[in-house]
Amino acid sequence: MKSSTCRDMLSVAAIGLALLFQIASPLMADALPSSVQFKVDHCMESLNDAEAELDARNPHMAREPLRVAKDRLDSIKANQSTFYDHPDVVAARNRYDAVEKRYKEAQEKQEASAGLAEEQLKKLEGFRQFSPDATYPEHLVEIQSTYLAAKALINEIAEAGTDVQLQGYSDYKGTKLSVEVYESNLDRVVESFIETAKEYTAKNTTRMRSWLDLADKRLLDIEKLLPAGDPRIEQAQTSVREMHAFIRQEQLENAAKVFMRPDKYKGKDADAYRALAKKAVINKFPKAKILKINLVSSAWGAPEGGAQWTDNTRSAVEVRTTSYFSAEVAAKEGEEVMLHRVYLYKEKVNGKLQPAKSYIVGSQMMLEKNVK
């Protein structure tokens, strides 16, 4: 019995709520007249524009869309006041108040930072000569301290919000651009370094000796330029390590094909010629240990040359002839064995023979077992 009574009471309550909802919902669902809805929509669009300018920290650009939004709300209040408290209009009014508050806070912040902006502008003058141009890592290392100082100032300006006041000044725009170009160049230079090392890890590749000589130093420069943990550091290290290993193996393969030409000269002055060939090598490589010297010419070559001017003024003529003699010197310095090809030469000037001299004309790596 009690259960039946409870069910009846619940049914009555449900019917009452349904009737209340039917009475209330038309009031809540009343649509605004099109003329009022137009003003609300226009108000909201203007507030969107104002917020976009505030997000971009351009409060002066938010002033006009805020004025338009307020105009639309004031028009509703003055001409369609019965709808001023409609939920949609109230929502627009509340949003306007929030955006206006942001606008006033941004203005106050900008006014308070006016003096700071002047100080920062003076600091920016110090970066007028900052040029971020770079081809290799060492160029970026040279200007890294300037970049870091400029970057710190640009960040300080952004955090203070004074970039709004400074954006019309060339010193600010120029320094900010230089910072961006430096960072772009850093990415490009590092990528180029890694790619070059990879390209050099291939057979029949033309390699710049100057690039190879500086590869390890540039690798250290890259480690200075990139933040710790940057994956490109490991990529650069790996590419250089693999390049060195590949080139070393290639050098050993080529060195295995290099042999000394046989010793041919049998004259009594052979020791003097060997001493002269040795002198050319020791003068250029003082720490070299001479392993073997072969005189590969059987005799001096025929004289070359003839009459020629003595200087650029062409005021006098002399007769100069030169004869050449070839030698090969195998020498070891550290772990490397090199085959140096040496020219001995003697000149005769106006019939008078000059003392013989020597110089290296080329060198190749060879294996020590090929020294014969």
Residue 117 lies in a domain: no
Q: Are residues 230 and 278 in the same domain?
A: no
Please check whether residue 118 lies inside any domain of the structure: no
Three-state DSSP state, 340: strand
Residue 263 lies in a domain: no
Weakly modelled stretches of the chain, pLDDT under 50: 1-7, 10-27, 29
Whether 37 and 17 map to the same domain: the answer is: no
**Do residues 220 and 146 both lie within one domain?**
yes
Distance in angstroms (rounded) separating the CA atoms of residues 195 and 190: 9
Judge whether 170 lies within some domain. yes
Residue 262, domain member (yes or no): no
Together in a domain, 233 and 281: no
What pLDDT is stored for residue 29 in this prediction? 43
Same domain, 283 and 361: yes
* Number of domains the chain is built from: 4
**Predicted local distance difference test score (pLDDT) of residue 113:** 67
Do 160 and 85 lie in a common domain? no
Instruction: Collect contacts of 337-342 with beta carbons under 8 A, ≥24 apart.
Output: 337/255, 337/291, 337/365, 337/366, 337/367, 337/368, 337/371, 338/285, 338/288, 338/363, 338/364, 338/365, 338/366, 339/258, 339/260, 339/363, 339/364, 339/365, 339/366, 340/280, 340/281, 342/277, 342/280, 342/281
Pair 19, 35 in one domain? no
90 lies in the same domain as 167: no
Within-domain flag for 261: no
Q: Is 201 helix (H, G, I), strand (E, B) or coil?
A: coil
Residue 191 lies in a domain: yes
Range of the domain at 7: 1-27
Q: What is the pLDDT of residue 301?
A: 92
- Is pTM beyond 0.85 here? no
Is there a single domain that holds both residue 245 and residue 140?
A: yes
